[in-house]
Amino acid sequence: MEKVRSFLASFGLPRLIIAGFLLLLFIVAPFVGIRVGASISDTLARFGMNSIMVLAMVPMIHSGCGLNFGLPLGIISGLLGATLSIETGVTGPLSFLLAILYSTPFALIFGWGYGKLLNRVKGSEMMIATYVGFSSVAFMSIMWLILPYSSPTMVWGYSGSGLRTTISTDGFYSQILHNFLCLKVGTIEISFGEILFFALFAFIIWAFLHTKTGTAMTAVGSNPIFARASGISVDRQRTLSVIMSTWLGALGILCYQQGYGFIQLYQGPMYMAMPAVSAILIGGASVNKASIPNVIIGTILYQGIVTMTPSVMNNIIHTDMSEVLRIIVSNGMILYALTRKSGASR
Amino acid sequence: MRKDIDIRKFLANNIVPIIFIVLCAVCIPLAGYSGQYLVSQIITRIMRNSFLVLSLLIPIMAGMGLNFGMTLGAMAGQIGIIFITAWNVVGIPGLLLAAIIATPIAALLGWFCGKMLNMAKGREMITSYMISFFMNGVYQLVVLYGMGPVIPLHSDQVILPRGYGVRNTIDLISVRQSVDNFWALTIGGVKIPLLTIILIALLCVVIIWFRKTKLGQDMRAVGQDMEVAREAGIKVERTRILAIVISTIFAAYGMILYLSNMGTLNTYNSHSQIGMFSIAALLVGGASVSRASIKNVFLGIILFHLMFILAPQAGRELMGQAQIGEFFRVFISYGVITLSLVLYEIRERREKAESAKAIAAQQKEAKA
C-alpha cells in the first residue's frame, strides 16, 4: 500500500487520470467502429510533428527559467527560415535543410536577446515570456505584410505583395521526414524518419546535459546561489539555455510544417506554446524539473488524447466537444503544475 | 543637478504614458478625424470600459499583481446577459436581473481563483492568466453544450438552431444603451450619459472609501509584506481571496455595462479580449504591477482607446493598408504589457539592491 501511494505521489494523480482516459479511449474505440491501427498511426504522426517543440522546453526548465511560454519567438525564427527557403525557389529535401540553415541565425540572435531580457527579470520569467511571445507574433504580423517577399507561391495573388496567411509546403518539404523510412505494419504506419529526427535531437540534448556545461546549467537551475559560489556564471548559462530553447522551437515548427503541409503565419503561432507546455507537464515534468522521457511520454499522451477524443466522442454522442475538452485538459495541466508546492521556490 | 535627476526619474517612471502621448500626437493629424468625433468616441469608450478597468485596482492593492482572472468576472456577466436575453427581460430591470444572476457566479469563480492563487504565491499573474484560459474551456463547455439540454433555455434568439448551445453573436437590442439613454445630455453634438457617469463615479468613491476600511487596510498590509501581516494577526489567505472575489464581481458588473453599451455579445470572444484590453489600458495609464490609482485608470483608457481609434486610419494613410494599423494596435497592446512588466521587474530589483546596500553600509558604520 505504501509503495502504491508513493508511486501515486511521484506519478501524480492528473497524469494517471489522463493516461487512464487515453487507455479507455483505445479500449472503447474498436466497439464504436474506429480502426485502432489508423488512430495509432495518427498519434505517431502527430508525435513526429510536435515532439521537437516539446523538447524545446527542456533546456530552459533545466536552467531554472521556467516553462518556455515564449516559444512563439522560436517559432518565428523557424517561420523566417521557412519563408526564406521557399523564396530561394529550391525544392525537395534540400529546401528543408535550407530552412533549418536560414532559421538558425535568427534563432540565435532572438534567443540571445530574449535570454538577456529574462536575466533581468528573474522570478517572473514565465509571465514576461508569455508576453514576449505575444508581442513578437504581433510585430511579425506587420512584418509579413511589409517584407519584400516575391515568390508567387507565398504572396497574395492579386496585390503581389504581403505573405498569405497559410502557405503550402507542397513541392518543397511537405512530408519529407514523414515519408523517409515509412514502414507499414498491418494497418499501422510508422514513420521512422520523424522518430529518428526527434531521437537525434533528443540524444544531443541528453548528451549535452551530461557534459560539463550541461551539468553547470542544471546546477544553475536547482540552486543559483550554490552555482555562483562554485564559480559558474549564472547569467551565461541561462542565456545559453534560452538560445537552445529558441533554436529547438525553430526546428520544431519546421518539423511541424513538414508533417502538416502548411506554414501558418500572422496570428498562427500565437498560442502554440500552450500545447507544448502542457504536453511536457503531462509527461511528468514540473516547473523546475524535466527530462527526455517526460518529453516522449508527454507528447504521446497529449497527442493521443487530441487524436482519439474527437473520433471516439463523435461516434458515441454525435457531438464534437473535443476542442473544449482539449482546452480544459491542457490548461488544467499547466494550472496544476503552477499551483504545486514543490515548485514554489520559483 | 538635483532637478536633472528628478526629470530623469520622472521619465523613467512614466515612460509608458509618455510613449503613448507621443504616438497619439503623431497619429491625430495623420488620421485626420474631427475633434468632435474624437471627443464623442473617447467619451463612449470611457463609459464602456472604466468600470472594468476599475475592477483591477483592488487585487493590485493586495499585492497580487494584475488580475488576469478578471476574465472570469466577464464570463459571469455574459452568462447573466445570456439569461435575460433568453427570458426577454428588457431595459434597466433586465440589466439589474443580469447583475443579480452574475453576482453569485462571479463570487464562486472569484473564490476558486483566489484559492488557486494562494497555492501559487509569488507567481500570481501567470497563474491567474492560466486560470482564465482554463475557465474559458469550462465556460465553453457550459455555454456551447450545457445551455439548452442541461440548463433549460428555449429562445430562438439565443440558442442555436440545432437545439443546444448559444449562438456566436447575440443581438442585445432589448437592453442596448438603456443605461446610457436613461438620462443623457447632449452638449455640442456630444452625448453625455449622466447615469453611467454617476455609476462610475460611485464605484470610484467606493474604492476610495474601501481603502480606508479595516479590510482595505488589511489588504494593503498583505500587499506590503505577507509575513509581517500574518504576524500582526491578519488572515492573509482570507484577505487575498476576498480581494479577488470583489474584483471578479466588479468585473462582472463592468462587463454587463460594457455589453449593454456595445449592444452585441460575442459569446466566445468578448471576455478574453476584454481582459487583455483592460489590463493594457491600466498599464498605459502609468500603473505598475504593485501601484495603481484611479487617475491611472482614466488616463489609461483615454490614451489607449485614442490609439485604438486612430491606428487603423493612420495605418491606411501612412502605409496604404488599414490592416497594418490593425496589427499595429494589437502589437501595441501586447508590447505595452511586456514593457511595463519588464520595467517593473528591473526597477524592483534595483530598489532591492539599493536597500541591501544601505543596510550593509549601516552595519559597517555600526561596527566602526
Span of A56-65, A272-281, B43-52, B323-332 with lowest mean pLDDT: B323-332
Which pLDDT belongs to residue B188? 73
Instruction: Judge whether residue A11 has pLDDT over 80.
Output: no
Question: Is A7 contained in some domain?
Answer: no
Instruction: Give the residue with greater pLDDT, A8 vs B258.
Output: B258
Nearest to B328 among A122, A132, A142 (CB): A142
pLDDT in tens, A140-164: 988 888 888 888 788 877 777 788 8
User: Is the sign of the CA dihedral A13, A72, A327, A298 positive or negative?
Assistant: negative
Report whether A217 contacts A59 (CB < 8 A). Answer: yes
The answer to whether the beta carbons of residues B110 and B73 sit under 8 Å apart is yes
pLDDT at A242: 92
| Closest CA of chain B from A172, distance in Å | 29
Q: Which mean pLDDT values do the consecutive 10-residue runs of chain B (368 residues) have?
A: 68 82 85 84 89 91 88 93 88 90 94 90 86 91 84 81 84 81 77 86 92 90 87 88 93 91 86 87 86 89 88 78 80 85 85 84 81
Are the C-beta atoms of B236 and B222 separated by less than 8 Å? yes
Residue A109 has pLDDT above 90, yes or no: yes
Structure confidence at residue B5 (pLDDT): 67
Residue of A277, A288, A324, A340 to mutate when probing chain B, most B C-beta within 10 A:
A324
* Encoded amino acid at B29, one letter: P
Domains and CATH numbers, chain B: 2-367 (1.10.3470)
Higher pLDDT, A344 or A50: A50
**Which of A131, A324, A338 lies closest to B137 in CB terms?**
A324
- As a whole number of angstroms, the distance between CA B300 and CA A305 comes to 43
Residue A327: domain span: 14-339
How distant, in Å, are the alpha carbons of B35, B94, B187, B204, B215 from that of B194? 21, 19, 12, 15, 31
Mean pLDDT of A249-274: 88
Question: What pLDDT, on the 0 to 100 scale, is given for residue B332?
Answer: 83
In a domain, A308, yes or no: yes
Q: Is A4 exposed, middle or buried (0-12, 13-18, 19+ CB in 10 A)?
A: exposed
Instruction: Quote the pTM value.
Output: 0.85
Rg (chain A; Cα; Å): 20
Decide the pairing of beta strands B190-193 and B169-171: unpaired
Neighbouring C-beta atoms of residue A148, cutoff 10 Å: 7
Nearest residue to B53 via CA among B317, B356, B281: B281
pLDDT, tens digit (0-9, with 9 covering 90-100), for A285-308: 888 888 888 899 889 888 888 888
- Spell out which residues of chain B touch residue A274, defining contact as CB-CB under 8 Å: 133
Residue of chain B with shortest Cα separation from A117: B342
| Cβ separation B126–A126 shorter than 8 A | yes
Q: Which residue of A has its CA nearest to B326?
A: A142
Query: Is position A167 within any domain?
Result: yes
Looking at residue B2, its pLDDT comes to: 55
CB contact under 8 A, B144 and A135: no
Q: Measured between beta carbons, which residues in chain B are less than 8 angstroms from residue A120?
A: 342, 345-346, 349
A5 domain-assigned: no
The three-state secondary structure class of A286 is strand
List of chain B residues whose C-beta atoms are within 8 Å of the C-beta of residue A117: 342
d(CA A124, CA B125): 9
Asked if B134 lies within 8 A of A328 by C-beta distance, the reply is yes
Q: What are the cell numbers at B247? A: 474584483
Provide residues of A within 8 Å CB-CB of chain B.
69, 117, 120-124, 126-128, 130-132, 134-135, 138-139, 141-142, 145-146, 162, 274, 319, 321, 324-325, 327-328, 331-332, 334-335, 338-341, 344, 346
Nearest to A264 by CA among A48, A24, A31, A49: A49
Q: CB-CB: which of A117, A142, A324 is closest to B140?
A: A324
pLDDT of residue B97: 93
Question: Residues A63, A245: contact at Cβ < 8 Å?
Answer: no
Residue A161 vs residues A65, A338, B299: alpha-carbon distances, Å:
39, 44, 39
CATH of the domain at A131: 1.10.3470
Whole-angstrom distance, CA of residue A129 vs CA of residue A107: 15
**In which band, very low, low, confident or very high, does the pLDDT at A343 lie, cut at 50, 70 and 90?**
very low
Answer whether A135 sits within 8 Å of B338, measured CB to CB.
Answer: yes
Q: If you ran DSSP here, which 8-state letter would residue A29 be given?
A: G
Q: Smallest Cβ distance to A335: which of B125, B131, B331?
A: B131
Whether A213 maps to a domain, the answer reads: yes
Percent of chain A predicted with pLDDT > 90: 20
- Give the number of other CB atoms < 10 A from CB of residue B210: 16
* Chain B residues inside the 8 Å CB shell of A340: 119
**Are B130 and A334 inside 8 Å of each other by CB?**
yes
Residue A181 placed within a domain:
yes
- Shortest Cα distance, chain B CAs vs residue A138, angstroms: 5
**Size (chain A), residues:** 346
Q: What is the DSSP string of A221-257?
A: HH-HHHHHHTT--HHHHHHHHHHHHHHHHHHHHHHHH
The whole-number average pLDDT for the span A94-116 is: 91
- Report chain A residues whose CB lies below 8 A from the CB of B334: 131, 134-135, 138
Domain contains A140: yes
Q: What are phi and psi of B348, to 5 degrees?
A: -55, -45
CB pairs A-B closer than 8 Å:
117
Q: Alpha-carbon Rg of chain B, whole angstroms?
A: 22
Instruction: Please name which of B17, B12, B23, B26 lies closest in space to residue B301, comparing C-alpha atoms.
Output: B17
Chain B positions with Cβ closer than 8 Å to A = 116, 119-123, 125-127, 129-131, 133-134, 136-138, 140-141, 144-145, 319, 321, 323-324, 327-328, 330-331, 333-335, 337-338, 341-342, 345-346, 349
Q: Find out whether B14 and B285 touch, Cβ atoms under 8 Å.
A: no
The more confidently predicted of residues A71 and A308 is: A71
User: Could you tell me the maximum CA-CA distance found in chain A, to the nearest angstrom?
Assistant: 69
Q: Which three cell numbers stand for residue B40?
A: 464623442
Contacts of A127 in chain B (CB under 8 A): 123, 125-126, 129, 341
Q: Assess if residue A6 is contained within a domain.
A: no
More confident residue, A253 or B121: A253
Q: Are A151 and A164 in contact (CB under 8 A)?
A: no
What is the per-residue DSSP string for B255-322?
A: HHHHHHHH-EEETTTHHHHHHHHHHHHHHHTT--SS---HHHHHHHHHHHHHHHHHHHHHHHHHHS-H
Chain B neighbors of A122, CB-CB under 8 A: 349
Amino acid identity for residue A194 in this structure: E
pLDDT at position B323: 78
Q: How many domains does chain A have?
A: 1
Look at residue A345 in the predicted model and tell me its pLDDT. Answer: 39
Which pLDDT band holds residue A341 (cuts at 50, 70, 90)? low
Average pLDDT, chain A: 84
Partners of A121 on chain B (C-beta within 8 Å) are: 341-342, 345-346
Q: Which residue of B has its CA nearest to A320?
A: B145
Cα distances (angstroms) measured from residue B357 to each of A215, B13, B225, B354, B363: 32, 22, 20, 5, 10
